[in-house]
Amino acid sequence: MNDFEIYKKMDDDVQAIYRSRLLTEMLLSLNGGSKKLSHLREITESTSQAIIPKLRKLEADHLIETKEHEYFLTQTGIIVASGIADSFVTFWTINKFKHFWLRHYLEGIPSPLLKEIGCLYESEVLKNRGMKILNVYNNQLRMLKEADHIYGISSVVTKGYADSISERVKEGISIELIVPFHVAEELKQSPYVEKLAALKSYKNFKLMLMNEDIKVGLIVTDKRLSLNLYKKEGVEYDISTGLFSSDSKAIEWGERLFWYCKGKADFTKFQ
């Protein structure tokens, strides 16, 4: 069965949860841990008379159980509640940054990571505007300066980035970078080839090449995430707008994106 056929088959059960504010709120609240009836009344701002029939339905569906006057999610309840929570977070993230997503080439994000886009909900979009014509660039350089380790996917290269990376490598910071073919070709030219030659003996620096084009720019450190994308047509890399976050879930998402691309990359040495 495809997704639509599954939805039609489960229509009544799905609609029962999503159409009922109380069912949704109780599942989401129990997803954060067990609750007593009094706590559920407080969270949902409802009476016991309204809540108890809903609790009985969830028990009948084997989504919750009771123990010592507290309500818990069952194992299947955890799966359902987590799925509901993920769907709301995804919608929230899409809506919160809708102009960012609409103006950029989302195909640059691998499908498995795109499905987890809700992890970026605690982020902010920074732009170059007015007197802050290098706002995105300067924030990224600050990230590099403050990091204790750095993972990066570079769709562009600049002298400023190269200088910052070189400096941090020499300070002993662990750095791993992935570059597409067109950036690798730039790195074979001056002044980058000389900078790379000076880093050859440093074991804390790894440079990897992806033969396929990468339509994303990523810096992820122990403290922050920076995500840049290509503009809508997928031709021009957007250096003027970036998504930034210091939230742990966003950082972990960035790490997963890096490791996904690393699995497709080859270690390389430039002459």
For residue 205, what are the contacts with CB-CB under 8 A and spacing of at least 6? 169, 175, 176, 199
Give the domain CATH number at 48.
1.10.10.10
Kindly state whether residue 95 falls inside one of the protein's structural domains: no
Pair 18, 140 in one domain: no
Q: Looking at residue 109, what DSSP letter applies?
A: S
Supply φ then ψ for residue 230, to 5 degrees.
-75, 155
Are 118 and 172 members of one domain? yes
Whether residue 176 lies inside any domain: the answer is yes
**131 and 65 within one domain:** no
Please indicate, yes or no, if residue 238 is contained in any of the structural domains: yes
Give the full edge-to-edge strand order of the sheet including 241-245: 124-127, 241-245, 225-229, 216-221, 149-153, 174-180, 205-210, 266-267
Helices (H), 132-214: 135-146, 159-170, 181-187, 192-197
The reply to whether 101 falls in a domain is no
Q: How many domains does the chain have?
A: 2
205 and 137 in one domain?
A: yes
The one-digit pLDDT tens for each residue of the chain (271 residues) are: 776 676 666 666 666 777 788 999 999 999 999 999 999 999 999 999 999 999 999 999 999 999 989 999 999 999 999 999 999 999 999 999 999 999 999 999 999 999 999 999 999 999 998 767 789 999 999 999 999 999 999 998 889 999 999 999 999 999 999 999 889 889 989 989 999 999 989 999 999 998 888 899 999 999 999 999 999 988 899 999 999 999 999 999 999 999 999 988 876 644 3
